[in-house]
Structure 1
Amino acid sequence: MKRALLPLLLVAGCSGTPHPAPAAPGWANAITRDDARRAHDWRMAFVKGLEQARTAGHGAEIDAEGALLRPDAALDGPTLPEGRYKCRVIKMGARNSGLLPYIAYPAFDCAVTGNRLSKLNGSQRQAGTLYPDGVRRMIFLGTLALGDETMQRPYGVDAQRDIVGTVERIGPSRWRLVMPYPRYESVVDVLELLPAA
């Protein structure tokens, strides 16, 4: 995955003329070093969160979610069409003792406008930019607004609010945003996105 972060020079076999590697995707130029590590470890966070939630007795709830909570369920064509979405967050794993290892929240409102994804209501609201990254995922770089805050901080300014995630299509009209190692509460947050009726 990190080939984009470590560009290499490819050497032509016959001529010895150096050729630059393909340009890095846009997210590789924007992502912070810490978030690059989190993005690299997204699957590890997903599996760890699932294991903690199952150990705590939430196996039936996890199984009922189907592809949403299967780490390797991504399908081709991850691009989110513009429009309004119903989105709900499932938090798995506990960053500290005393926190719940599984919480499923009701649906809130989200919107996709151009290359921007925003959660419009709720006490934790993610908003950020979507970057293409191959045929099965997009990279999300954004920030978190809390409570009654009305302004979204720019990405890369406050590490405690920065969010990195992967957007994947997991059904005909079903997507998810997987956010590994969020700063608050959980090991992984999974945001389901369904087109609003």
Structure 2
Amino acid sequence: MRSLLALAFLPLAACAAIPGRAPSSMLTDWRSVATGNDRERLSEWRKAFTEALDKARKGGHGADIDREGALLDPDAAIGPVPVANGDYRCRVIKVGAKNDGLLNFIVYPDFRCRIQQDGRLQRFTKLTGSQRHVGFLYPGDALRQVFLGTLVLGDETQAMRYGSDHDRNVAGWVERIGDGRWRVVLPYPHFESTLDVIEMTPAP
């Protein structure tokens, strides 16, 4: 039992493997890595985006949405996608409450993120915050890349293997929306919101 439990977790620096498959840094086709649920979430990104914005506007956050400009415009992707390796400032916005009683619009202060090369892929790591995304960027289409990873919560120091816990899986589209500005669009996250958007700008 101990060995099985150990296989469910990986240190943050080694969060690369899929249970029963080759390390994800060796697989460059995201469709061969993503779970069925994540493929569905990614395909419904526009539906999630519009639903989330509608909920937030009905909740009185129209001015907040407009203030964010391209960041919360579903059609803001301008390509090409590639994100340079290095450290980034990441700002998370949660839009559209998943359940009654939750807030429809939350903007968090800047966190620290890092993009680094790992084999044939780039790895994304959110270094600070209570919900920390860890995973890989895969080739997507002409405008965007695909992010597949997991959530590290609270004071945890290890990331679960992608695919080992449905609720921890995260999936999103990585898009360039301006000079030195990218976003990760996460449709239908398993916690709290209808849409999460991570804004990425190079750290000074």
Which category of TM-score, normalised to the shorter sequence, fits these structures?
A: 0.7 to 0.9
Q: Establish whether residue 106 from structure 1 lines up as the match of residue 109 from structure 2.
A: yes
Identity of aligned residues (%): 52
Q: Report the alpha carbon displacement of residue 77 of structure 1 after superposing the two structures with TM.
A: 1.0
Aligned twin of 1:80: 83
C-alpha separation in 1, matches of 2:176 and 2:73: 12
Q: Report the alpha carbon displacement of residue 25 of structure 1 after superposing the two structures with TM.
A: 5.9
User: 1:78-125: CA deviations, max 9, x gaps?
Assistant: 111100000010000111110001000000000000110110000000
The partner residue of 1:48 within 48, 51, 66 is: 51
Q: Report the alpha carbon displacement of residue 135 of structure 1 after superposing the two structures with TM.
A: 1.9
Which of the two has higher C-alpha Rg? Answer: 1
Aligned twin of 1:185: 192
Structure 1: where are the runs of 5+ without partners? 1-23
TM norm structure 2: 0.84
Aligned twin of 1:139: 146
Match for 1:150: what amino acid? T
C-alpha separation in 2, matches of 1:144 and 1:163: 7
- The residue correspondences of 1:1-197 to structure 2 (distance < 5 A) are 26-114=29-117, 115-197=122-204
C-alpha separation in 2, matches of 1:81 and 1:170: 14
Q: Secondary structure at the match of 2:166?
A: coil
Q: Secondary structure at the match of 2:163?
A: coil
Higher helix share: 2
User: 1:31-72: CA deviations, max 9, x gaps?
Assistant: 000111100001110111111011111111111111000000
Contact preservation (8 Å) 1:25, 1:133: no
TM norm structure 1: 0.87
C-alpha separation in 2, matches of 1:177 and 1:52: 20
C-alpha separation in 1, matches of 2:177 and 2:97: 25
Structure 1 stretches (4+) deviating beyond 3 angstroms?
none
C-alpha separation in 1, matches of 2:45 and 2:90: 20
Match for 2:193: what amino acid? S
- Cα RMSD after superposing both structures: 1.1
Match for 1:102: what amino acid? F
Contact preservation (8 Å) 1:91, 1:189: yes
C-alpha separation in 1, matches of 2:62 and 2:53: 9
Q: Report the alpha carbon displacement of residue 179 of structure 1 after superposing the two structures with TM.
A: 0.4
